[in-house]
Structure 1
Amino acid sequence: MAVEWTEFTITTLLKYSRAPGFVDLPMWVEVAESAVPGSAIVQFQIQSDEPHPDLQVLSVSPPAALFQTPIINPTDIPDLYIVQIMLNSSLDFERVRLYSVRLGIATASSLVQQSFHLRVIDVNEAPECETQFQFPAPISIICTASSYLAKQVCLFAGVEVRVPEDVSPYEPLYTVPVRDLDENDTISFVISEVLPASSLGQFQIDGRGKITSDQAFGYQRGPKDFSLSVVVRDSQGANCSGKVRIKVLKVFTPPLDFLLPVQNVSVLENGGAGDFVTAVQANPNISAVFYTFVKPYPPYKIGPEDGIIRTAYNLDLEADRTLMRMVLLVRALSVIENRSGTATITVHVLDVNEHPPFCSPPIILLTVPETTEVGRSLGTLTCVDVDVNNRNVTLTLIESDLSLFKFRLRSGQLQVNNSLDYDVEGVAANNFQYEAVILATDSGSPALTTEVQVLVTVLPVNEFDPQVVAPLVLPVLEDAQRGSVVGVVTAVDRDWPFNSVRLSIPGGDPLFSIDPIGGQLYLRAELDFEEKQVHTVRVQAVDFGQDTDWTNQRTSATDITIQVQNVNDNAPVCDPVSYESSIFSTLSAGVAIVTLTCTDLDGDILSATITNGAAVDRFQTNGLSLSSKNVFSFVPDGVYDETWYEVTVKVSDGKFSTDAVAYITVVPWTTTKPTTTTTTTTLAPQVVTVLMEVWNPESWFVVVLTLTGALLLLTAGLLTWNILARTSVQQIKDQPEVLLRDSEQTTKEGPGSDESEKRFDGKAQDPVSGRSYLFSSLTGERRWLDKVAPAPADTHV
C-alpha cells in the first residue's frame, strides 16, 4: 500500500533526519512499451541537505541505455527535492519485459542506494510488412485518375514477382513477408483488390500469406501483368498493406539450373555479422552468372559472383523471433544467355542457450511459526527463460541436512512438507532458520541454471506442558535439620530453550520450600516420624520464555511424596517404673516373677538387663520378664536365703535406656519330709504379684526420693541381716545334740545303707557356720556331717 506523504509528515521527518535518502520511490513502475523517448516514467522525492543533490542511475539490469539524466527540482520544503526519470530510448515488451534499476544519492561521505523495478506493459503493435511490399505510390498521383501514367504507377507499385507462363495452378507464386512483434498473435491475409478487375477471383491467399492462382497463365491470350492489393491484419485490427505485382514471363528458353535448387540449412544465433550460411551454384557450364535475391532479405546478403550467403548482422532470436525460419529465393541470371533460375534456401536459425532462467522472487525470505501446518504454501516461484527454444524451466529443491524433507515443490509452489520444529538443538545452532535452494534449470544444451535461496525462519510456539520427572518419592530422616535439602525436584520441558521451568509450591507449605530454578526442596521445620510418616507436597511447574508471546505459559502440578525415615530418638518408657511381687520360696527357677510393661515410640526391640549387686547372680531376665536362677532355700536347720530383694533392671532399645525397679518378697515355704514314715504332701508354690500405681513427680523430686529410699533400704537390710545372723547362731547352739544324734544314727546305719541313700541325694556347705551337710532334693531334709562343740555363751556372731 502506497504511503501518502503530507507536507506536515515530510517536514516532521526532515526535522529529525537530515541524512540523504529516498522518500517515496516506488518499488514497481509499469510503463507501456509504446512510451516515447523523453517521457517521464516515474516521479518521486528525495531529501538531502546539499543544494545540488547528485542523483545517479547506478545500474540497469539487463544493461541498457534506458534513461536520461534524472531531473531534480527543489520544492517549497527545505532539503526536499522532486526527481523525474525520463526515457532515453524505446521499450520493447517482446525483448525485455522487466528491468531492475538501482539509483544512488552520492554525498561527500556516503552513497545511499535504492532500487525500483520497471515492468514493461505489452501494447499491441501493427504487423510489419516488408518495405518494398508496402511501398506507396507518389502522393501527387491518384490511382483513380484516368491518366495512363497514373494507372501505370498504381499498377506497378509494390513488390514484383515474375512467374513463367507455364507455372502450374495452385503453385505458390509469392509469400507476403510480414512479421508481428506481438507474441501469440494471429495474422490474417486478405486480397482487397486485383487489377485488372476481371481477374478478381483468380488469386487466393492463405493464412500464411501464400498467394496462388487457380488458373494457368497465358502469355499470348491473357493479361501479362497483375496487381494485387493485400491487407495484413492482426487479431486486434491493426494492419499493414502492400501490393504484389505478378509479371508473367514468356517461356521460350529453359531456365537456368542450380546444382542444389532446394536447400535446408541451419545456423546458430549470435554468430555475428558475416557468418557463413550456405552457398548456391548454378550450372557450371553456363558462364557469366550473377546471383541475387528475388526480394530483399535484411538479415542476409549474397555474393553476386560466388553465390555465398552470409548474415548481414548478428542474428539474435531473443530480439527477433521471425529469424527462426526464413525462406530465401535466390535468382541466378546469365546475361549472356538471357537465362535465369531460382533456388529456394530455407534457413533455420538455431537457438543458443545463453540466458539462464529469470526467477521471481530472486530470493525467498519467510518467517513462520513452528506450528505451520503441513501442506501450507509459503509462496509461488515463477521462473522464465528468454531463450527461444529453451523456455522449459525445471525447478529442483535442494535441501540442507537440517532442512531435509521439510519443504516440497508443487507446480512452482513452495509448501511445508514436514513440521518446522523450533525445538531442536541443530535448528537453534542455525539461528532457528531452515535453508534450502531452488535450482531453476532450462532445457538448453548445456543447461543453464539459476539458484533461488530459500531462508525460512521459524518462531517459537509454546506447545508442551512442563513435566516433573522421577523421583516423585523422597525419603528423609526424621532428624534432618531445618534448612537441609530433602531432595531435588527435576522438571523438564520439550520446548526450546529446554527445561526453562520455574517451580513453586502453590499456597506455600509450613514444612517445605523449593528453589524455583534449581528445584532443591528445603526443610523448614522439624519432622517427627512418630507423629506423621508421610507428607505430600504439591509442586507446580510453570514454563517461561518459550513463545513469542511471553504471556503464553503452560503449567502442570505434581504431588511429591516425602517419606519420613524413622530415627531412634526416643528412650524406652516403662509404665510403671517400679514393681512389687511376693512369691513363695518354692517357686521354680525360670518362672516369670515380674513382667515389665515398657514401650518404645520408635518401635525398636527392647532388651532387659539386671544391673544391681547380688541380684545379678540371683535373678535372670527372659525378654522383659524377671525370674530366679534357682529355687530359694529356707530350711530351718539348713540354708536360709534372703526374703526381700530389690532388683534394678535396665531396659534398652540399643541406643537409649531406662531403669525399672522390682521389689520381690520371698515367703519361706518349707517342704522338708519328717523322719517318720508319714507321707507329707508338698503344696504347689503360689506366686503373688502385687502391682502398685506409681506417682510421677518432678525429676528432682524423684532423685531426692530415690536417694532417701536407697539409704532407708540399706539400713533396713543391714538390720535384717544382723538379726538373721544372730538367729542362725543361736539355732546352731541349741541343736548340737540333735545334730549329733542324727550323726550318730547315720553312723550306725552306715553311709552306704539304703535308707540313707534314699533320704539324702546331695551334699553342701552351710555359708554361716562352714559345716557340711547332706540334703534331699525331694523333701528338703538336711543332715550335718561333722560334730561341732557348743560355743561359749558370750560368743557373738
Structure 2
Amino acid sequence: MTKRMGFRDWRWQALWWHHFFSSVEYNRRTNSLQHPGGDGTRLSSWKFSQRLGLGLSDIFDRKLHVASEAGKQYFSVDAGKGELVVNDRIDREALCAQSASCVLPLQVVVENPLQLHRIEVEIRDVNDNAPNFLKSDHVIEIAESTVVGVRFPLEMAEDPDVGNNGLKTYTLSKDECFSLKIKEIENGRKIPELVLNKSLDREKKAIHSLFLTAMDGGINVLDINDNVPLFENTLYKIAVQESSSNGSFVIATKATDIDEGPNGEIEYSLGVHTPPSVLALFHIDPVTGDIYLKQQLDHETQTSYRIDISAKDKGFPKMESHCSVQVDVLDVNDNPPEIVLTSKSTSVPEDSGSGTVVALLSVRDLDSGENGKVTLKLPKGSPFTLKPSFSNNYALVTSSPLDRESFSEYNIEITATDSGSPPLSSKKTIPVSITDVNDNPPMFTQPSYNVYLKENGVPGSILYSVSASDLDFGENAKISYSILDSKVQDVSVSSYVYINSDNGSIYSMHSFDYEKLKVFQIQVQAKDQGSPSLSSNATVHVFILDQNDNAPAVIYPSSAALGSLSHQRMPRSAKAGHLVTKVTAVDADSGHNAWISYKVSEATDASLFTVNLYTGEVRTKRAVSEQDDSSQRLLIEIKDDGEPVQSATVTVSILLEDGLHEPILDLRHKSMVEPSKKTGRITLYLILSLASVSVLSLVTFVILAVKCMRSSRSSGSLNLQIQLNTDGPIKYVEVLGGDMLSQSQSFRSCMSPMSEYSDFTLIKPSSTTDFKEVISVLDASLPDSTWTFESQQHPEHLHCKELDERE
C-alpha cells in the first residue's frame, strides 16, 4: 500500500547564491525545486533575466543560452518573459537514485561581453513511488509443532523515494496466530518479521493467507463524501410492447456524483419498497443504470408499472438519491396457451395396467374467443394418452404396457395450441419415472463352463469365477451365488468346493487326485433379492489334469516276497540275444507321464547283459564264457516320461549254471522227432490266444458303445474316444466311461510282446486299485499300428490306447 503526496498545482521555489570570479564573470546560483517538473514549469517567481542583471532585450542581443552539465537539456529560457522554464519531466530517482541530496548543475552563457553563470538546481523528492515488493507472493512452510514466539524474516519492500517519502513501516492483516515485528538494521533499513503468537493446528486450518503492506511517509489528501448523486430526470417515461423478449432493454437512467474515488462511484438498484411483481419483471444494471426485462410483460395482467430507482454512492456515510420510471405496456396478441400440472405420480410400476393415471393437468389461455380455444397433442409412439375430464382438465394415463428395462424414464412433451391467427402454442414436459418390478431372472454369461484343474493343487485356491447379470434394478438386481447339492462319488459336492456368494468365485476345499477323480460337475445357482426372487442355473464342468505324481510300479518280476530282489537262472551255454527275463512295470499316471523306459543302472559285468529300453527284456549281449562269474547282479532303473521324472529300481540276481540247457535240448530233440505234432499244438494255442484277445476287445467295444449311446439318449451328451498307438513299450487299451457326476470307470489292458515269453495284464485303476496286483498273465502279441477315432460328446468317455515297442 502506498500513500502519495497529492498536489493540485505545482509551484517551484528557488534559492540563489552568487559567486564572482576574476577573469570571466562567473555567477553560481542554486535553485531548489520539487520533482517532477513538467514542461513549461517556471523555476522562480522572479524574472530569470533580472536575477542575472539583464533586460529582456539582452536575451536576444547577447545570445543567452543554458547548458546542462548532466547532458540532457532539462531547462531553457523563455525569451518573452525572461524566465527559466523546465523543458521535460525530471525524475529524481533516475538522476540521483536514493541519494539524500540531488543537485542538477546548469551553465548560463551570455556573450558580448562573455559571462558564465553557474546555477545548481536542487531536485527535491516528492512521494511519487509506492513501496514495492519484488515478489507478490511469499510462501512460508511452518510445522504445526513450531513453538510460539519463533520469528520468520519476511521480504523487504523497496521505495525509490527518500526521506519522509521513503519506506516507513509495515502492517499485517489480522490473524490470531501471527503478528508483525519490525527489526531495524544498518542505514535505518527495516526488516519485517512474522511472529508466531499461537500454536498452529493443520487439521483445523492448513493455510493462513496474510497480507503484508509496506507504507511510506507521504501524505494523501482524502476526499470526503459531501455530494449526493443527482439524476438527470426525476421521472422517466417509456412505452414497451408486451411481446418484448426477456432481457430486452427498457430505458437508461443516469446519475452523477462530483466526489472522487468511492465517494463518486454510483450503484443503481430498484427501490426498497418495490413490490415483488415488479422485481420479477425488471432488472437494473447496478453499474450503468440501464433497465432490462427479466421476463415477458403481459398487458392482460397489468397495463402500467411505476418503478422507483435508487442511486447510492460507495462513500461513508453513503449518499442516496431517487427517481421514478413509468413503464406503459402496449398490448399485442401474444398470449400462448398455458399448461398447468395439477398433480403427478412420482413413479409408475412397470407392470401397471392400461389406463393407470400418471398425472393430472389443466390448460388455460388468457386470450378470449377463438384465441382461447386450446387443443393438446402428445408425441407419436408414446405409451401414454390424454383423457379429458371437465373444464379444460385432463388426465395423463398409460395406453400400452411399460418395460423399465427398455425405458426407465419418459419425458412426455405435451403441446398446447390455440385457434388464433397466427396460432400460438406452448409445450410442457412431464417426467415420468418407471419403477422396477422383479420380472427378469439373473442370466449367466454362458450356460456351462469348462474348467481344467491340475491335480495336487493347493486347497483353498480359486477354481473359476462365474458371473451373472440381472436387467432389473436395485434389490431386484442384487445377485447371490450358491452351489446346488449333488453327489460326487457318493459325497456331497459341497465337500469338494465352495462359492463366494457375492462374486461367484469357486474355491477348492482340498487337493484333487487325478487317479481318484478325473471329472465332476458343479451346479451353480444365481438368485436375485427380489420378491419373489428369481434364479437361473449354470453347469461348471471340472476336468482334473494329470500330473506326474506316481512312480512306475514293478509288476514282474514280483517283489512281494523278496522285496526288490529277483533271482533268475540261465545256462552257461546261452548265446548272444538269449532272453534272461523280462521286467514289467506300469505307471498310474496318464499320457506321457505313464510312458516307461528301462535302463541298466549297475551290473556285475556290463558287457554281458542289456535291457530293452521300451520292453524291459533282459538279454545277453554276447555268449557266456567260462571266465564269467556264476553269480551276476543287475540293477535296473525304470523311469517315466513325466516332469519331474519319477523312477523305480529292481535288482535282478542271475545264476549261471551248467546243464540247464539239456532239458531244453531234449525238448528241442523231441520237437524234432515229432515236429508236426508240437508245431500244430503251438500254432493252435497262438490262434486261440489271438482270437480270444480279438473277441474280448470287440465285445468290450460293443458293450461300451451301446452304453455310451444309451447315456447320450438320457443325458444328451457323449464323449467317445478310441486310440491305438505305438508310442511305448506296453500295448494297452484304456476305456473311460460313466456319468460325469460320478467317478469314471477305467479299464486298461497291457500287453508286453516278447520273443519267448509274453504277459497279458488286465488292470483296473481306481482309488482302490493296486497296480502291483496282476490279474492274469498270458501270451499275447499285437501288431504295430496307430489309429484314432474321437467323438467329443458329454458325459461319457471311451478311450483306448495301444503302445507298441519302440526300438
| TM-score normalised according to structure 1 size | 0.35
User: Which has the higher Rg, Structure 1 or Structure 2?
Assistant: 1
Using CA pairs below 8 Å that are at least 6 residues apart, which structure has the higher relative contact order?
2
Report the TM-score, using the length of structure 2 for normalisation: 0.35
